Amino acid sequence: MFLVILLASLLLAFAFLALAIGILLKKDGKFPVSQIGHNKAMRQRGIGCPQTQDMKAQRAEKK
């Protein structure tokens, strides 16, 4: 059982290290933006923040 936990921990450590190295080696190494409201590609497709869209729909419903 200890061997399985040790192997899993080593695998996770390697994955985190690989992600960190990938970010450090990129020219503008940043994590990708995962919030819909701040993601340029999502905004270009017309996809917005669900909370904002819900607020707009509720305001339109009140009028």
- Assess whether 1 and 26 both reside in one domain: yes
- The structural domain count of the chain equals 2
Do 39 and 26 lie in one domain? The reply is no
> The pTM is what?
0.45
Same domain (yes/no): 3, 25? yes
- The pLDDT of 2-11, averaged and rounded, is 96
> pLDDT grade, residue 53 (50/70/90)?
confident
Domain that holds residue 25: 1-31
Same domain, 46 and 60: yes
Average pLDDT over residues 29-40: 75
26-40: average pLDDT:
75
Q: Do 41 and 17 lie in a common domain?
A: no
Considering the chain, what is the average pLDDT of its residues? 85
Does residue 18 register a pLDDT over 80? yes
Same domain, 27 and 1: yes
Which region holds residue 46: left if phi is over 0, alpha if psi is between -120 and 50, else beta? Answer: left
The answer to whether 39 and 33 are in contact (CB under 8 A) is yes
> Is residue 39 domain-shared with residue 63, that is, in the same domain?
yes
